[in-house]
C-alpha cells in the first residue's frame, strides 16, 4: 500500500516538514509532502522513527552508528543491515563507484563511502581487515585536474558566435578535425598543454535550462560585451543568470577594432553589477579582444586558464563516469545519438549507463573531432550511441554496473515521473506562498521584476526591498530586474530559481504566457504600484484570498424596439464597446439608473442566433422576463472573474 508523505506524517504524529527533512537525510528521494512512498519505505521509516521516539528524542543522526561486518555484504544485505531501502542505496551508490552486480559483494572502498554517507561506521572482523589491507594497496582514487567548461554569454550581436568560431578554428589543428566539422554540443581546445572545453551554443540557456533541472554544466562564463555598444539589457540579464547559477564571469570586451569604442565606460557600467576589473581593485578578469580580427584571443584563453586554476577543478578519472547530456539527435543510420559532457570519472565502450529515463550500453564512442575512441575521461565531450530511447538535454548521465541495475533504476524513475505528473506539482505562486513558507519549503519570495520605464523599475525595486514582515525572516529577493517586456529567458530563469515574475505596466504576449504556463511560472501583472506592493505584502502574510470581481464585457444601446407575439420585446441594439455574449449577465440602465438585472434569452444577428457580437455591430437582444425596453436604454453585459 502506498502513502503520501503527509499521510505518513499524520500517521506517525509528526509534522510533515520534519518527515521531509528526515527522508532527505536518509537519502530517500521525495519531492514534497504530496509524494508517494512505497510499502517498504513506509515500514522502514516507521521502524526507525518509532524506535527513535522510544529513545525519547535522542538524535539518531547525530550519533555514529557502528555496524559489525564479518563478510562483505552485497547491496541487498547492506540494505537490510543499514535499514535503508534498496532503491535508495542503489540511487546513491552510483555516486561512489561501480559495483559489478546487486548480488556481488561491494568493494570495500565503495562500502566505506556509502556507509559513511548514512552516518555509520564499519567495524570489520579480524579476517576481513587483513583482506582489506591487501586490497588497499591498489589505489582507487586518482584526482586529476579537470579542464574547465566554458559558456559564452552576452547581448545579441556582440560577437559570441564569432568568438566561438575563432577559438575553434585557431586552436583545433586541421588534421584533428578529420574532415568532420559537425557540432556535438561542445569542443575542446588546448592552450599551453592545458585544455578548455567550450559549450557550442552561446547564450545563458546552457546553464539556465540545465539549472532548471538541477544540474550545472558550466564552470566559467565568458561575458562578451561589444566595445562600441556597451552594456545592454541582455548583458545584464546574462550577468544575473550567471550569478544565479553561481558561475564566475570573465569579461571579454569585443570589437576593439571598431571606431567609437569606450572601454572605460563599459568597465564603469559593469562595476554596478559587481564585475570590477583587476586594475580597478576588483577580481574580475577582463580582456579586450577582437573576435573578427583574431586579436587578444590568446590572452582570453589564458585568463580562462587562470580562472580555472583559481577554481581548482578536479575530477577522479578512476571512477565510472558521470556527466550531462548536452545535445541529442536522431541519425537515420546510427540511431539515437547523445552528446555527453563527462564531468567526473571515465567511461568505455561496452559500459552500461542511465540518463534521465533512458538507459543502454555504449556501442560507439566518438570524440569532438569525429574520431571513434575507446574511452574518455573528465570534461570530455563525446557522442554516445546505444540509448534505449531519446534522452533530454540536461539529463544526468551515469555509468551503472549492469543492464539489470540500469533497468531497475529507470523503472523506478518512470514510476516517479508518473506520480509527478499525477501530483501536477505547481511552483511558487503568491497563493501558496504563505503555506510554503510555513512548511519551510521556501524562505524568501524570489521575484523577477519587469517594468515599462527605468523610473518605475527603480521605485519598485526600492520599495520591494523594504518589505519586511515582523517576526518573520521571509523577505523579497529580486533576482533580476529590467526594463522591457517579459521574455522567454525571464520565464526560464524564474523556473530555474523558483521565482515569480512581476510585470508593471507591461503585457507579455500570448507565447510568453503559454511558456509561463508550461513552466508553471506565475506571472503577475499590475498597473498600480500600490496594488503590487499590497499584494506582495498580503501574500507574505498569508492574507491573499481569491476575490471575485465583476468586469464589464460590453455595452449596447437600444435603437429600435420590436414587439414579437409569443416572444416578447426584442431590443434592436448597437454594440457600443467590448464584446457581448449570450451567456453574460445583463443589466438595463436608463438615464443612469438601474432598471433591470438578469439574463439574456436571445441574441441574434439578422435572425441568426449569435453567441457573441462585437463592438460596432447591430444585434437583437431579448431579456428574460422583461419587456419594458425603451429606446436609448443601455444594456450592459457583465461577468465575474476570480482575481487573486
Ligand atoms: P552574437 O549574436 O553575439 O553571436 O554575434 P555574432 O558573432 O553573430 O556577431 C555579430 C556581428 O558582429 C557579426 O557581423 C560579426 O562579424 C561582428 N563581429 C563579431 N566580432 C567582431 C569584432 O571583434 N569586430 C568587429 N568589427 N565585428 C565583429
83-93 residue pLDDT tens? 888 878 887 77
Who contacts 305 (Cβ-Cβ below 8 Å, separation ≥6)?
148, 191, 192, 194, 196
pLDDT > 70: percent of the chain:
85
Cell numbers of 80, please?
A: 537490510
- Least confident segment among 11-15, 234-238, 295-299: 11-15
Closest residue by Cα to atom 20, ligand 1, is 159
Distance 154 CA to ligand 1 centre (A): 12
Distance, CA of 169 to CA of 174 (rounded, Å): 8
Res. 234 pLDDT band, cuts 50 70 90: confident
For the segment 285-295, the average pLDDT, to the nearest whole number, is 96
Beta pairing, strands 475-483 & 444-451: parallel
Candidates 154, 156, 162: which one to mutate for ligand 1, based on the most atoms within 8 Å of Cβ? 162
- Per-residue confidence (pLDDT) for residue 49, from 0 to 100: 75
Kindly give the number of the ligand 1 atom that is closest to the alpha carbon of 258: 26
For the segment 234-260, the average pLDDT, to the nearest whole number, is 91
Candidates 168, 261, 292, 299: which one to mutate for ligand 1, based on the most atoms within 8 Å of Cβ? 292
576 vs 66, more confident: 576
| 365: nearest Cα among 378, 353, 352, 347 | 347
Res. 178 pLDDT band, cuts 50 70 90: very low
pLDDT of residue 179 exceeding 70, the answer is no
Res. 637 pLDDT band, cuts 50 70 90: very high
- Per-residue confidence (pLDDT) for residue 424, from 0 to 100: 47
- Per-residue confidence (pLDDT) for residue 470, from 0 to 100: 61
Distance 301 CA to ligand 1 centre (A): 18
| 541: nearest Cα among 467, 460, 462, 461 | 467
Per-residue pLDDT tens over the stretch 369-389: 888 999 999 999 999 999 998
Q: Is 291 in the pocket of ligand 1 (CB under 6 A)?
A: yes
3-state helix, strand, coil in the chain (%, to 5): 30, 35, 35
Per-residue pLDDT tens over the stretch 122-177: 888 888 887 777 665 555 556 888 999 999 999 989 999 999 989 988 766 554 44
Contact 231, 266 (CB under 8 A): yes
For the segment 269-292, the average pLDDT, to the nearest whole number, is 93
92 vs 614, more confident: 614
- Least confident segment among 63-67, 275-279, 611-615: 63-67
Q: Tell me the β-bridge partners of 40.
A: none
pTM: 0.58
Q: Is 162 in the pocket of ligand 1 (CB under 6 A)?
A: yes
Amino acid at each position: 500500500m502506498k502513502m503520501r508523505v503527509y499521510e505518513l506524517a499524520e500517521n506517525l504524529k509528526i509534522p510533515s516538514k520534519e518527515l521531509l527533512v528526515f527522508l532527505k537525510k536518509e537519502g530517500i528521494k521525495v519531492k514534497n509532502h504530496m509524494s508517494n512512498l512505497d510499502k517498504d519505505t513506509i515500514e522502514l521509516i516507521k521502524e526507525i522513527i518509532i524506535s527513535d521516539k522510544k529513545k525519547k528524542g535522542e538524535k539518531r543522526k547525530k550519533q555514529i552508528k557502528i555496524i559489525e561486518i564479518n563478510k562483505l555484504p552485497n547491496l541487498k544485505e547492506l540494505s537490510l543491515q543499514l535499514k535503508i531501502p534498496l532503491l535508495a542505496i542503489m540511487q546513491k551508490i552510483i555516486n561512489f563507484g561501480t559495483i559489478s552486480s546487486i548480488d556481488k559483494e561491494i568493494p570495500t572502498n565503495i562500502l566505506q563511502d556509502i556507509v559513511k554517507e548514512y552516518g555509520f561506521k564499519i567495524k570489520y572482523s579480524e579476517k576481513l581487515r587483513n583482506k582489506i589491507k591487501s586490497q588497499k594497496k591498489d589505489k582507487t582514487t586518482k584526482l586529476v585536474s579537470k579542464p574547465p567548461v566554458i559558456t559564452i554569454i552576452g547581448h545579441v550581436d556582440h560577437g559570441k558566435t564569432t568568438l566561438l568560431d575563432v577559438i575553434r578554428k585557431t586552436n583545433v589543428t586541421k588534421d584533428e578535425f578529420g574532415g568532420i566539422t559537425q557540432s556535438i554540443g561542445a569542443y575542446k581546445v588546448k592552450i599551453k598543454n592545458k585544455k578548455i572545453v567550450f559549450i557550442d551554443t552561446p547564450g545563458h540557456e546552457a546553464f539556465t535550462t540545465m539549472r532548471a533541472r538541477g544540474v550545472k554544466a558550466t564552470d566559467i562564463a565568458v561575458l562578451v560585451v561589444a566595445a562600441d555598444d556597451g552594456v545592454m539589457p541582455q548583458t545584464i540579464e546574462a550577468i544575473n543568470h550567471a550569478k544565479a547559477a553561481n558561475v564566475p564571469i570573465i569579461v571579454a570586451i569585443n570589437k576593439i577594432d571598431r571606431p567609437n569604442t569606450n572601454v572605460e565606460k563599459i568597465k564603469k557600467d559593469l562595476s554596478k553589477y559587481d564585475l570590477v576589473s583587476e586594475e580597478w581593485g576588483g577580481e574580475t578578469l577582463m580582456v579586450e579582444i577582437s573576435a573578427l580580427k583574431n586579436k587578444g584571443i590568446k590572452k582570453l584563453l589564458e585568463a580562462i586558464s587562470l580562472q580555472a586554476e583559481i577554481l581548482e577543478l578536479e575530477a577522479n578519472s578512476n571512477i565510472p563516469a558521470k556527466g550531462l547530456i548536452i545535445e541529442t539527435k536522431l541519425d537515420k543510420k546510427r540511431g539515437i545519438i547523445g552528446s555527453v559532457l563527462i564531468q567526473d570519472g571515465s567511461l568505455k565502450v561496452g559500459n552500461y549507463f542511465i540518463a534521465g529515463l533512458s538507459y543502454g550500453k555504449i556501442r560507439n564512442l566518438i570524440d569532438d573531432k569525429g574520431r571513434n575512441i575507446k574511452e574518455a575521461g573528465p570534461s570530455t565531450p563525446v557522442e554516445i550511441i546505444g540509448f534505449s530511447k531519446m534522452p533530454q538535454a540536461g539529463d544526468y548521465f551515469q555509468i551503472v554496473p549492469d543492464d539489470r541495475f540500469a533497468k531497475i533504476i529507470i523503472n523506478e524513475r518512470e514510476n516517479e515521473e508518473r506520480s509527478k505528473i499525477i501530483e501536477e506539482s505547481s511552483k511558487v505562486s503568491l497563493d501558496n506562498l504563505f503555506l510554503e513558507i510555513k512548511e519551510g519549503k521556501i524562505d524568501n519570495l524570489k521575484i523577477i521584476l519587469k517594468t515599462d520605464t527605468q523610473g518605475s523599475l527603480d521605485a519598485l525595486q526600492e520599495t520591494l526591498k523594504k518589505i519586511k514582515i515582523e517576526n518573520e525572516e521571509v523577505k523579497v529577493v529580486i533576482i533580476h530586474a529590467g526594463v522591457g517586456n517579459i521574455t522567454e529567458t525571464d520565464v526560464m530563469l524564474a523556473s530555474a530559481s523558483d521565482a515569480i515574475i512581476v510585470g508593471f505596466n507591461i503585457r507579455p504576449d500570448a507565447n510568453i504566457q503559454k511558456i509561463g504556463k508550461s513552466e508553471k511560472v506565475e506571472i503577475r501583472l499590475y498597473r498600480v504600484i500600490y496594488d503590487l506592493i499590497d499584494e506582495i505584502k498580503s501574500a507574505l502574510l498569508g492574507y491573499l484570498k481569491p476575490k471575485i470581481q465583476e468586469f464589464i464585457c460590453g455595452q449596447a444601446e437600444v435603437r429600435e424596439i420590436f414587439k414579437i407575439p409569443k416572444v416578447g420585446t426584442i431590443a434592436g441594439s448597437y454594440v457600443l464597446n467590448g464584446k457581448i455574449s449570450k451567456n453574460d449577465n445583463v443589466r438595463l440602465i436608463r438615464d443612469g439608473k438601474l432598471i433591470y438585472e438578469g439574463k439574456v434569452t436571445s441574441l441574434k444577428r439578422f435572425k441568426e442566433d449569435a453567441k457573441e457580437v462585437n463592438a460596432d455591430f447591430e444585434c437583437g437582444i431579448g431579456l428574460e422576463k422583461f419587456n419594458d425596453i425603451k429606446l436609448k436604454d443601455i444594456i450592459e453585459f457583465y461577468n465575474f472573474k476570480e482575481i487573486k
